[in-house]
Structure 1
Amino acid sequence: MPAEAATAVDNAHLLVVDDDARLRALLQRFLSEQGFRVSIAADAAAARAQLAAVAFDLVVLDVMMPGETGLELVESLRRDGKDVPVLMLTARGGPEDRVAGFEMGADDYLGKPFEPRELALRIRTILRRVAPPAQPLTAAPVQLGMRWFDAERSELRGPEGTVRLTGGEAALLHALARRAGDVLSREEIATALGTPEAGERAIDVQVTRLRRKIEPDPREPRYLHTVRHRGYVLRPGP
């Protein structure tokens, strides 16, 4: 990775949201030692106030908090068009819990207890995934009906202007667009997204969310097709 991109990742400003004061303090100290700028919030209300005032690069968000949960907060952020990347933390690490997080719009999911170094690695993976490319790409924009995906900027544009994509949605579309016409297995997609441990259901959820952004009728896909027993393929066109 170019030095400029590495510096941007390491200097990222994170917001850690957790009702456990001890864990907040530990994460703030550890992530600061890793080179990140770190702010903290004890609950969803405090997080909202900070998100309204500061453009954070990523949010580390606990799921189980008193009052508004982390799942409810990330769902509200996505509904309001806020695409800040979100990594969710939870003591409930079953597949159905990961799926719930992805359905709400999370970019990654880490179960408690966790190894702090793995958390830092996942944060850097997400930040690299959503960062603008250091070098201009030569690939032409991909046509999806009345919309076009600009891989250079990871932007989806249409007659209505720029369509908001979460970091995970943009990364998924980028991976599919790079190999447009090729069938990608769910394992290949998970690896391209930097989440090789993601289950099949989690990938299916991400595809469903992306279809809502690119398909005229997500129930009858024209561009992002399911290939039975094999995976998914993006077929651009008018």
Structure 2
Amino acid sequence: MPAAGSPPAQRSAGRTAPLPDDAPHLLIVDDDRRIRELLRKYLSDNGFRVTAAEHAAQARERMEGLAFDLIVLDVMMPGESGITFAKSLRTTSDVPILMLTARTEADDRIEGLEAGVDDYLPKPFEPRELLLRIQTILRRTQSRPQAARSVEFGELEFDVERGALARNGQPVRLTTREIELMKLFCRAVGRALPREELTGGDDTISDRAVDVQINRLRRKIEPDPREPRYLRTIRGAGYMFVPD
């Protein structure tokens, strides 16, 4: 970012009219209050709805109630780092991530990309470059086929955005881990997911633990858990979700 007091490059005139409801919604996650406020104003002036969070835990709270088109994420934050947050987020969401960092070594950039981020911008940066990168990511990701917001199978319907399961309109309680699994399966319908992918990169979760979690989930979604219809075992490949 520019030094304090220096004007952002090519800042647009201040907006007086409210942004349209369909304007892209960005989540800024950075522990530096000054950067959060600069980015909030600059990106708002350039046509984006902007919500801010100062750390990963607060970002998760924001994401529980709001849907975002892109996350601008700082690497170095107190508590959970941006890299760890991105890895965790990628187990349940494909929302685009643009990572900001003061670390410029190639290994650090590679680590961010391996975590699943879409782009990487080192600090200090020009706001205009940030804006162009955001616009490029949104053009690219919005051209992708959109994942279904809900998936129906038998008497059940799973709302992917809310992580809510219902049977004939009545809620079915899922644990946090079961919600994560359902989101993974709904984003990969008809594709076998290996156990290591279902752990979300957590080395502390064993293959046996994944099998136990799948069996518990089957008890909630299968007419007969002993003969799975929707959540099938694919020998040598993992598990596959096959809705009606």
Indicate yes or no: 2:116 matched with 1:85: no
Greater fraction helix: 1
Cα deviation, residue 132, structure 1: 3.3
Post-superposition Cα deviations, 1:123-179, rounded to whole Å, max 9, x if no partner, equal 000000011379xxxxxxxxxxxxxxxxxxxxx8653599xxxxxxxxxxxxxxxxx
Post-superposition Cα deviations, 1:54-98, rounded to whole Å, max 9, x if no partner, equal 11000000000000010010000012x211100000000221111
Q: Distance in 2 between matches of 1:37 and 1:84?
A: 16
2:73 corresponds, among 52, 61, 65, to 61
The residue number in structure 2 matching 1:13 is 25
1:97 corresponds, among 108, 118, 141, to 108
Indicate yes or no: 2:142 matched with 1:111: no
Indicate yes or no: 2:58 matched with 1:46: yes
- In structure 2, runs of 5+ residues without a counterpart are 1-18, 146-186, 194-235, 238-244
Q: Distance in 2 between matches of 1:16 and 1:157?
A: 28
Pairing 1:24-173 to 2, within 5 Å after superposition: 24-79=36-91, 81-132=92-143, 159-160=190-191
Q: Distance in 2 between matches of 1:133 and 1:104?
A: 20
Q: Distance in 2 between matches of 1:131 and 1:90?
A: 25
Q: Distance in 2 between matches of 1:102 and 1:82?
A: 16
Q: Distance in 2 between matches of 1:161 and 1:34?
A: 42
Q: Distance in 2 between matches of 1:85 and 1:61?
A: 10
Q: Distance in 2 between matches of 1:131 and 1:19?
A: 28
Cα deviation, residue 101, structure 1: 0.2
Change (3 A) 1:35 1:50: same
Q: Distance in 2 between matches of 1:133 and 1:16?
A: 23
Pairing 1:180-219 to 2, within 5 Å after superposition: none
Q: Distance in 1 between matches of 2:130 and 2:78?
A: 23
Q: Percent identity?
A: 55
Change (3 A) 1:114 1:130: same
Under a length normalisation based on structure 1, what TM-score does the superposition of the two structures give? 0.52
SS of the equivalent of 2:100 reads strand
Post-superposition Cα deviations, 1:174-200, rounded to whole Å, max 9, x if no partner, equal xxxxxxxxxxxxxxxxxxxxxxxxxxx
Change (3 A) 1:133 1:83: closer
Under a length normalisation based on structure 2, what TM-score does the superposition of the two structures give? 0.51
Q: Distance in 1 between matches of 2:123 and 2:59?
A: 21
- In structure 1, runs of 5+ residues without a counterpart are 1-6, 135-155, 163-215, 218-238
The residue number in structure 2 matching 1:206 is none
